[in-house]
Amino acid sequence: MIDKTILHGLFCRNYSEMIHLARTLLYDDMEAEDAVQDVFVRLMKSDILPADDKMRAYLITAVRNASLNRIRQKTLAEQFCQLYPLDADADWQFDEQRMQTVESIWDYAQSHLQEPHLTIFRLRFEEDLKLKDIANRLDMNLKTVFKYLSQSIQCVQKQFRV
């Protein structure tokens, strides 16, 4: 285990920058504090510290990765609720309009996208699969899946000016 005085010094020197990055990525103070705390807990449990000249970069990268992992673990519905808290009737109407737009996008995609574009688009946005999982399921190269998905998104954006 790492000496607590060393960790305390690292915490004091780097906390403000780390918490700022986590808040920027997560949009939630409590989640950001948890992400930074997780980095220091993992560091405390490890036996090896990075070199002093690389410590800041290590901590910032660790916070970024911890924040991105938290984002990936949330479902789409949780992300939506966090970013758009529901509040009374005005928000309900806005959400209703949004749902109509989403339905229009799905209808457009199904009628205008060709295979394999449509399948990749559906797997990504309907089944919420990651590109790597889509590539594995369709037995395609990851770059090819990315290319097809990018083309599909551009097509939809062009139609809906999203």
98-152 confidence digits (pLDDT tens): 888 888 888 888 888 899 998 998 898 888 889 999 999 999 999 999 999 999 9
User: Which runs of E-coded beta strand occur in the chain?
Assistant: none
Sort 160 into a burial class: Cβ within 10 Å, 0-12 / 13-18 / 19+. Answer: exposed
**What's residue 90's pLDDT?**
55
Against a cut of 0.75, is the pTM above it?
Answer: no
Tokens coding 53: 């000249």
Question: Taking the alpha carbons of 24, 39, 62, 134 in that order, is the dihedral positive or negative?
Answer: negative
Q: What value, to the nearest 5°, has the Cα angle with vertex 68 and ends 67 and 70?
A: 65
36-87 confidence digits (pLDDT tens): 999 988 888 887 777 888 889 999 999 999 999 888 887 766 767 766 665 5
Classified as helix, coil or strand, 48 is coil
Tokens coding 40: 């220091």
List all residues 6 or more positions away from 39 whose beta carbon is below 8 Å from its beta carbon.
Answer: 18, 59, 62, 63, 66
